[in-house]
């Protein structure tokens, strides 16, 4: 493969895997909580797109850091959250806060 082919291949990989290119920082998301599993420190959230990771809007389970208090997080609540990669390389919620929907 020539240099041009390698360049195109590398650019293609970055385009389809932006989460892999997002190293060392955090990402912020917003969504609606579907369920909370406080025992296993997990939440299921229908979130808006997370552009810094290249993620579309979707509903998914997230592991939550054990340092995060989940008592204020309730199903149906709109929340803002911060994701960081944990030691295993998976994205984990490091903070989660309900947001006011009243105007």
Is 60 exceeded by the pLDDT of residue 5?
no
In the CATH scheme, what architecture does the domain 3-98 have? Beta Barrel (2.40)
Q: What is the pLDDT of residue 10?
A: 46
**Beta pairing, strands 91-98 & 27-37:** unpaired
Is 60 exceeded by the pLDDT of residue 14?
no
Higher per-residue confidence, 15 vs 46: 46
Reported as a single tens digit per residue, the pLDDT across 39-95 is: 999 999 999 999 999 999 999 999 999 999 999 899 999 999 999 998 888 899 999
Q: pLDDT band for position 26 (50/70/90)?
A: confident
Higher per-residue confidence, 53 vs 4: 53
Distance from C-alpha of 18 to C-alpha of 25, rounded to nearest angstrom: 13
Distance from C-alpha of 36 to C-alpha of 39, rounded to nearest angstrom: 9
Distance from C-alpha of 91 to C-alpha of 52, rounded to nearest angstrom: 13
Q: What is the pLDDT of residue 8?
A: 53
- What are the residue boundaries of the structural domains of the chain, listed by start? 3-98
Q: Is 36 exposed, middle or buried (0-12, 13-18, 19+ CB in 10 A)?
A: buried
Which of 21-25, 26-30, 45-49 is the least confident region? 21-25
Distance from C-alpha of 60 to C-alpha of 64, rounded to nearest angstrom: 13
């Amino acid at each position: 493969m020539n240099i041009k082919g390698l360049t195109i291949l590398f650019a293609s990989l970055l385009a389809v895997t932006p989460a892999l290119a997002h190293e060392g920082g955090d990402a912020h998301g917003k969504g609606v909580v579907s369920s909370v599993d406080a025992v296993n420190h997990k939440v299921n959230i229908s979130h808006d797109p997370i552009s810094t990771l290249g993620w579309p809007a979707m509903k998914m389970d997230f592991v939550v850091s054990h340092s995060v208090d989940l008592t204020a997080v309730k199903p149906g609540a709109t929340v803002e959250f911060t994701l960081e990669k944990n030691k295993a390389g998976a994205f984990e919620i490091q903070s989660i806060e309900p947001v006011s929907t009243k105007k």
